[in-house]
Chain A
Amino acid sequence: MTRDPGSFRDPSGFIFQDQGVLFRQVNRSYKTQFDFLVSSGLYSELLERKYLIPHKEVSTALSDSDAFAVLKPELIEFISYPYEWCFEQLKDAALLVLKIQLLALNKGMILKDASAYNVQFHKSRPIWIDTLSFEIYDEGSIWVAYKQFCQHFFGPLCLMAFGDTRNALLLHSFIDGIPIDLTSNMLSWKTYFNLPVLSHIHAHSIGIRNYSSQPAAAHPTLIKKKSLVALVENLTSAIEELSVERKESEWLDYYTDNNYTDRGFDHKNALVKEFVNIVQPKMIWDFGANDGLMDREFSKAGIRTISFDRDHEAVQKNYITCKSEQSEFQLPLVLDLLNPSPGIGWNNKERKNLTGRGRPDLILSLALIHHLAISGNVPFKNIAEFFYEMSDWLIIEFVSPADNNFISISTHASSTILHQYTEENFEKSFSVFFKIVRVEKIIESKRSVYLFRKKDEVQPL
């Protein structure tokens, strides 16, 4: 049994793996609440609405004397984190938490935490994954996770809506959400005229600053249930009204404003599909997926596809399309391959880095290599080694130096880097780690598509 390094804060139980299968232990201290979750009908209602991940109670031998039960939750194929979500994903996750809170209050329970890490994207929609987050509600109790909700959801959403979508990357640095006072400081003075922001962020910040040194139990904490529900409703309407304007994007019009002719574009798509058919993957990671147009076809074919792109606008468009088309097997995420998500939190293991979260059967990297090599100054050998450690199969679209897009990004690159960027050097470096299975020129273009397979043994270059 291996205990999950990110599951140690809640005394009600924890996540562990046994022979590669994921389980959740419920401790004896949580027995009353767990029984009430089921007997109140809340568990079945949450399942019916697809708000909570389903589980099966299993008869696995209990690992210690604290254990009351062991659950086997439905598996989430890829764990993503809030700093990888676009605005709409964070907003949908926030609204899910508030919907769950209202349902829980209706059934005599309350959420005792509101961590964004308890939400995952499963079958193109957000879902709550922590079955042990529900406490029995006592009339008059406050919502202990109110501050956490503001730090994980409302604050970051305001920073994105009233500031810049890149502000969400601050969640990297603050594992328990962006501090309220920092959010308050970063927001424009104009937000003081927005009543929900004024109350949940600015006034909240003043309250924390002036009373943080006093023990929590020293204050009267009686809130009528109606008032608590009003608070949740107020947060819901405030979040529903938040939006981000579509900004000028580097890549959003890629498919309508690119260097392919119609025939070239169709040929590229046909080649990639043909290569994917050769590999027969169950899981694809697509780096530089743009708005995920091609990935949707793989998703429709039942292939789990993670569509990474560093451009927030492209990911946002991808997510909205996935939702409307119910592209269940596709997950769009914001990620810069030149600086992928690190391991954060306690011992750098609480939230895993990118490569620690699974191993794709196939990596797609279409028209990305020139950005990594020229804009990012990453040598071909390093790129090849990175992909080699991640997957057995690789599809790369190589953009030749004669391509218009290459010329536009290479204007300010040094002559040494430009000199090294040749198709010959590319093949030589990648051939150290991979065998070239297929290579085809895209018609009416200066680009080629390669299908690589990992070598069993690597000889030093």
Chain B
Amino acid sequence: MVKLFLIYIDPGAGSMLVQVTIAGILGFLYTFRTYWLRILNFFKQKGEKISNDKKIGNKINNI
């Protein structure tokens, strides 16, 4: 929830809904991508390990 007493700029009701929607979709996609990479890594037993260092999904997991 938003702590409205902290806000001195107007976040805008429409803008908030858009933010929730976009962030929700992006969050889902990144989570999906992270698990997909894990599955790929699991099956690549001896092959090159996919480096997640540059992957955005990995950055998110570290936050």
Contacts and interface: CB of A to CB of B under 8 A. Distances in A.
Contact of A231 (B2, B10, B19): B19
B40 interface: no
A145 B15 CA distance: 10
Given A141-B1, A215-B13, A226-B60, A204 B26 contact: no
A438 interface: no
B7 A204 contact: no
Interface in A76-101: none
A4 B20 CA distance: 36
Contacts of B1: 138, 140-141, 221-222
Nearest to B11: A144
B47 interface: no
Given A146-B15, A207-B17, A221 B23 contact: no
Given A230-B26, A230-B60, A233-B56, A220 B12 contact: no
Given A224-B27, A226-B63, A230-B30, A199 B22 contact: yes
Nearest to B34: A226
Q: For chain B, give the interface size range.
A: 35 or more
B20 A220 contact: yes
Contacts of A150: 15
Interface stretch (A105-113, A365-373, A374-382, A418-426): A105-113
A223 B20 contact: yes
A226 B23 CA distance: 9
Interface string B23-63: 11011111100000000000000000000000010011111
Nearest to A138: B3
A210 interface: yes
A234 B26 contact: yes
Given A102-B63, A141-B1, A147 B11 contact: yes
A204 B18 contact: yes
A278 interface: no
Contact of A226 (B2, B10, B14, B30): B30
10 contacts: A141-B1, A142-B16, A144-B6, A209-B14, A211-B13, A216-B13, A216-B16, A223-B27, A234-B22, A237-B56
